[in-house]
Amino acid sequence: MAVKSAGSGSKGYKPVSMSAKEYKAFAQTKEPSRSVWTNCLRAFLVGGLICAIGQGIQKFFMAAFDMTSKQAGNPTVAVLILLAVILTSMGVYDKIAQCAGAGSAVPVTGFANSMSSAAIEHRSEGLVLGVGANMFKLAGSVIVYGVVAAFIVGVVYWLFGIGAWHDTTG
Amino acid sequence: MMPYVWAFIVGGGICVFGQICFDVFKLTPAHTMSLLVVLGAFLDAVGLYDPLVDFAGAGATVPITSFGNSLVHGALTELQQDGWIGVITGIFSITSAGISSAIVFSFLAALVVRPKG
């Protein structure tokens, strides 16, 4: 008896529930329509600015420590990551990200932001299960696919010894 | 001054590509970043990423595509030096600076900072 009434009860609600497809179409009509052009312009300006700052840091390392541009690459990335983590800690990076979209997500600073914000957010769940386990929640996919892609490239080069070996020094 | 201009234009251009993936193809940020990393790895595999770095400087090394490029670079460099095992041992040899610093700084931030909002 109880089963039957529960069944009829759920039947009463049926018009409200939607299939995943219907919901997607419905949600699309309710999405705020932000112009793709505006978003792209913001992404271009912010992303370009971050890269220009990176260029400045790289120039500084080249001048101060007498490095080549390739040697200066790693410390430049490390400094940008440090800056991104500091800005994330102060809650500034997320404000930039709301406006800039991909402009703040695509540079390496966005990678650092995703790691540090996940670490800070899950701090309350503990140092190991919270910070340790969640740090790579978003950044992990980047590392997994990057490593798999690099592995495939490496195996292809190893098997076929592709002749046009480009310069991998430095 | 020109290196800054090219870094700005190329770096901004890669970000616009990411924004188009967000807005036009409706990809999630995780999908977009994964796509860009694989794209960077592929471009390095066919030898196109190095010329881009020479041309655009930080415009090519700061976006996440450079991460894929560095992973391939590490794998191929050690493949050349040590043979087949280098494909496995070399992958993280160059990207260590980025990943290690991101882990350490994020961990320290999580110790010090209280979450907002």
A59-112 tens-digit pLDDT: 999 999 998 888 888 899 999 999 999 999 999 999 999 999 999 999 999 999
Q: Do A50 and B61 touch (CB under 8 A)?
A: no
* B-chain residues near A42 (CB < 8 A): 19
Contact A102, B18 (CB under 8 A): yes
pTM for this predicted structure: 0.83
Closest approach of chain B CAs to the CA of A6, in angstroms? 38
Angle, in degrees to the nearest 10, between helices B65-82 and A108-121? 100
CA–CA distance, B117 with A6 (Å, rounded to integer): 40
pLDDT band, residue A32 (cuts 50/70/90): low
Inform me whether the C-beta atom of residue B109 falls under 8 Å from chain A C-beta atoms.
Answer: yes
For chain B, say whether A120 makes contact (Cβ under 8 Å).
yes
Give the pLDDT of residue B89.
92
What is the spatial distance between Cα B87 and Cα A67, in angstroms, rounded to a whole number? 27
**Between residues 1 and 30 of chain A, which touch chain B (CB distance below 8 Å)?**
none
As a whole number of angstroms, the distance between CA B40 and CA B71 comes to: 9
pLDDT (tens digit per residue) in A110-125: 999 999 999 999 999 9
Closest partner residue to A146 (CB to CB) among B3, B57, B67 is B67
3-state SS class at A107? strand
Taking contacts as CB-CB distances below 8 angstroms, the residues of chain A near B59 are 48, 51-52, 55
C-alpha B101/C-alpha A77 separation (Å) is: 9
Q: Give residue-wise pLDDT tens across range B46-87.
A: 999 999 999 999 999 999 999 999 999 999 999 988 888 989
ipTM: 0.92
Distance, CA of B115 to CA of B82 (rounded, Å) = 46
| Average per-residue pLDDT for chain A | 85
Establish if A102 touches chain B: CB-CB under 8 angstroms: yes
Q: Given CB atoms, is A32 within the 8 Å cutoff of chain B?
A: no
Residues of B in Cβ contact (< 8 Å) with A106 = 14-15, 17-18, 32-33, 36, 63-64
Give the whole-angstrom CA distance, residue B93 versus residue A144: 16
Residue range A16-25: mean pLDDT, rounded: 78
Is some CB atom of chain B closer than 8 A to the CB atom of A141?
yes
- State whether the Cα torsion B65-A160-B93-A170 is positive or negative: negative
